[in-house]
């Protein structure tokens, strides 16, 4: 193994043996650029290895040969002569673009520089260095191509931008035109709704007066009438009643389309409601020999709905089944599902053709016209039913086979009392902001509810809270005011009422509740707290208002 002193000795020997001449030759040999030494007579004196590799010559094929041998003939030869003259006169020339000619005739672009070598006052040679520019030129060409591509893409982008601007202008014009058309349609639709509403209201009063007058004649108030007269008077009353129903339907569809119907939700047993509505049809079904079937998943299914409006849906559906079913049965179902309650009315009637099904819930649609014996209605019942169900955020659909029967189903979403109350507040806030009015909330909360439930029993305390809610409902003086019962509290919303008015109402209602508890002998056991918050006095957002009353 060599020591450090051995390594130093070796390096010293190498330095000493590397004479100046061999050192210079080693540098020239290792150059990557071509080095050519030219005699004053323009013949090649010497070349390095890089020159031979570049031009594919052997050294003896170039030495003493005219320098022009390795340059392209013609114009290139003239340029070479010009620059050699320049080198001779000025002593050097740099970065000259020339073309080398390889042995196989291949043209090689080079960057050529030369300088005169002197010996005293005499020029002994010209030292030339040439760098192969093919890769550089290829890179330049590639960059130029990319530059052209970028320029073309830039032009494309400019063209696309201009096209997009034109498209956007066209879209804006189309949007403006659609908005104008939509506003015009809304205006026409509003005029139509207003017309229907006005005409319907104007017809109601004379119809009521006419019916009352005919009823008095029919009852003999104005004197005796014979059998034939009574028959005609009864027909007149039936016609007036049918016209009154048509007017009511027109008013309903007009309000639904104008979004003027406000639901009055209350906790309702849908099963009892369905039975109650069906009982009004029992005699008519019996007269046609139709059986009635029930399919209820539970004996009692409670939902927060507008009881009168959902009853109206059942009435419309049962009216249709009665009209289009001549034999078999009618089935009413109410099924409690996870997030909704699904209701349905099905029959074994004449059914609806497949091509007519998409139009079932459209206004003024009449189906099964080939059955001349079927009495036609106004064609508004299902459209109204669809509007009512959708106002409840539910869905309605139809299934039918011609000659086999029809089933119309609808769903009603389940609402917790607090969720329903929050929906009322959201809508009430939007209305208050739109009209620049107020909205107030009152919360009546039974204190120590859990302890009272343990002491009095769940049914007893639940009954007391229910009675308190009914008492509040009875004492609310305006139709727009609502109350909703939660397990241990009663939530009251007062649209259009400021904080001062809300406190006045709250104190009046609280006094009624205290009187009730006192009469029931519960004043010492049950205490009711109240919280009042108003928009915009206490909060200017829905969240802020609900936070004020701890909801």
Tell me the per-residue pLDDT of 205-224, one tens digit each, with 9 for 90 and over: 777 778 888 888 877 777 78
pLDDT of res. 1:
47
510-535 pLDDT per residue, tens: 999 999 999 988 888 888 999 999 99
Domain of residue 60, residue span: 27-137
**Mean pLDDT of the 450-479 span:** 88
Record the tokens describing residue 247, joined without a space: 């007017």
Whether the CB-CB separation of 542 and 429 falls below 8 Å is answered with yes
Task: Please check whether residues 108 and 80 belong to one and the same domain.
Answer: yes
Domain final position from 137, 158, 188 = 137
Confidence bin at 369 (pLDDT 50/70/90)? very low
d(CA 24, CA 215): 136
pLDDT in tens, 95-114: 888 888 898 989 898 888 88
The answer to whether 36 and 51 are in contact (CB under 8 A) is yes
What CATH number did the domain enclosing 47 receive? 3.30.450.20
**Domain harbouring 426, CATH code:** 3.30.70.270
Using pLDDT thresholds of 50, 70 and 90, give the confidence band for residue 410: very high
Same domain as 393, residue 432: no
Q: Do 48 and 129 sit in the same domain of this protein?
A: yes
498 contacts 537 by C-beta, under 8 angstroms: yes
The whole-number average pLDDT for the span 2-21 is: 49
Specify whether the backbone of 195 is left (phi greater than 0), alpha (psi in -120 to 50) or beta: alpha
* Burial class (CB within 10 angstroms; exposed 0-12, middle 13-18, buried 19+) of 501: middle
- Model confidence at 15, pLDDT cuts 50, 70, 90, reads very low
Q: Is the pTM of this model over 0.85?
A: no
- For residue 164, being part of any structural domain is answered with no
Q: What is the mean pLDDT of residues 37-58?
A: 89
Mean pLDDT of the chain: 84
In a domain, 175, yes or no: no
Q: Is omega for the bond preceding 536 within 30 degrees of 0, making it cis?
A: yes
In the chain, the number of structural domains is 3
Residue of higher predicted confidence among 330 and 152 = 330
Q: Which residues contact 550 (CB under 8 A, 6 or more apart)?
A: 443, 531
| 340: in domain | yes
* Residues 404 and 422 grouped into a single domain: no
Q: Which secondary-structure segment (H or E) carries 342? A: strand 340-347
440 shares its domain with 524: yes
Does residue 234 form part of some domain?
A: no
Whether 392 and 480 map to the same domain: the answer is no
| Domain co-membership, 449 together with 388 | no
Residue 248 is assigned to a structural domain of this protein:
no
Does residue 183 sit within a domain? no
pLDDT value at 6 more than 60: no
Same domain? For 271 and 349 the reply is yes
Task: For residues 465 and 543, state if they share a domain.
Answer: yes
User: What confidence category does residue 389 fall into, taking pLDDT thresholds of 50, 70 and 90?
Assistant: very high
**Shared domain check, 525 and 453:** yes
CATH number of 308's domain: 3.30.565.10
Backbone angles phi, psi at 128, to 5 degrees: -115, 140
DSSP character string of 280-336? TTHHHHHHTT-EEEEEESSS--EEEEEHHHHHHHHHHHHHHHHHH--SSEEEEEEEE
Distance from the Cα of residue 453 to its chain's centroid: 46
Which residues are CB-neighbours of 467 under 8 A, at least 6 positions away? 516
pLDDT of the residue at 257: 75
Among 387, 413, 439, give the residue marking a domain's end: 413
Collapsing DSSP to helix, strand or coil, 386 comes out as helix
In a domain, 373, yes or no: yes
Claim to verify: residue 273 and residue 336 sit in the same structural domain: yes
pLDDT at 283: 92
Distance CA 136, CA 144 (A): 12
User: C-alpha distances in angstroms, 35 versus 27, 91, 130, 394, 514?
Assistant: 11, 17, 7, 92, 116
In a domain, 287, yes or no: yes
| Judgement on whether residues 405 and 425 belong to the same structural domain of the protein | no
- Which of 97, 113, 137 is the endpoint of a domain? 137
């Amino acid at each position: 193994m060599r020591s450090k002193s051995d390594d130093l000795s070796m390096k010293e020997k190498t330095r000493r043996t590397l004479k100046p001449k061999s050192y210079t030759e080693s540098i020239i040999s290792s150059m990557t650029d071509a080095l050519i030494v030219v005699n004053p007579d323009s013949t090649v004196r010497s070349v390095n290895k890089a020159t031979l590799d570049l031009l594919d010559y052997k050294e003896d094929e170039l030495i003493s040969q005219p320098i022009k041998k390795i340059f392209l003939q013609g114009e290139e030869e003239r340029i070479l002569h010009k620059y050699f003259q320049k080198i001779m006169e000025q002593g050097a020339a740099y970065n000259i673009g020339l073309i080398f000619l390889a042995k196989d005739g291949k043209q090689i672009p080079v960057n050529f520089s030369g300088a005169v070598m002197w010996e005293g006052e005499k020029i002994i040679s010209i030292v030339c260095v040439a760098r192969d520019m093919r890769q550089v030129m290829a890179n330049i060409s590639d960059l130029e191509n990319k530059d052209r591509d970028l320029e073309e893409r830039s032009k494309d982008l400019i063209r696309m931008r201009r096209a997009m601007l034109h498209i956007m202008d066209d879209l804006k014009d189309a949007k403006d035109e659609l908005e104008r058309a939509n506003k015009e349609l809304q205006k026409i639709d509003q005029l139509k709704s207003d017309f229907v509403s006005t005409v319907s209201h104007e017809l109601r009063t004379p119809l009521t007066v006419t019916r009352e007058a005919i009823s008095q004649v029919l009852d003999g108030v104005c004197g005796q009438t014979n059998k034939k007269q009574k028959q005609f008077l009864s027909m007149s009353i039936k016609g007036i009643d049918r016209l009154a129903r048509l007017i009511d339907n027109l008013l309903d569809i007009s309000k639904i389309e104008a979004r003027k119907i406000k639901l009055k939700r209350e906790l309702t047993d849908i099963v009892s409601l369905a039975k109650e509505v069906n009982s009004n049809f029992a005699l008519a079904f019996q007269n046609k020999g139709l059986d009635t079937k029930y399919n209820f998943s539970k004996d009692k299914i409670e939902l927060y709905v507008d009881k009168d409006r959902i009853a109206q849906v059942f009435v419309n559906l049962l009216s249709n089944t009665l009209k289009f079913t001549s034999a078999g049965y009618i089935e009413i179902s109410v099924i409690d599902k996870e997030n909704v309650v699904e209701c349905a009315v099905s029959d074994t009637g004449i059914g609806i053709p497949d091509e007519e099904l998409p139009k079932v819930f459209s206004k003024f649609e009449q189906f099964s016209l080939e059955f001349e014996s079927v009495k036609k209605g106004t064609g508004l019942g299902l459209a109204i039913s669809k509007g009512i169900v959708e106002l409840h955020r539910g869905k309605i659909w139809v299934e039918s086979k011609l000659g086999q029967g029809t089933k119309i189903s609808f769903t009603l979403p389940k609402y917790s009392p607090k969720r329903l109350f929050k929906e009322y507040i959201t809508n009430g806030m939007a209305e208050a902001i739109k009209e620049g009015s107020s909205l107030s909330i009152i919360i009546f909360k039974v204190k120590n509810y859990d302890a009272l439930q343990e002491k009095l029993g769940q049914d007893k305390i639940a009954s007391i809270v229910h009675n308190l809610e009914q008492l509040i409902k009875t004492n609310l003086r305006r139709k727009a005011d609502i109350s909703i019962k939660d397990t241990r509290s009663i939530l009251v919303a007062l649209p259009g009422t400021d904080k001062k008015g809300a406190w006045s109402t709250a104190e009046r209602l609280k006094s009624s509740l205290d009187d009730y508890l006192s009469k029931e002998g519960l004043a010492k056991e049950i205490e009711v707290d109240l919280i009042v918050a108003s928009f915009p006095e206490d909060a200017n957002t829905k969240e802020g208002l609900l936070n004020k009353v701890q909801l």
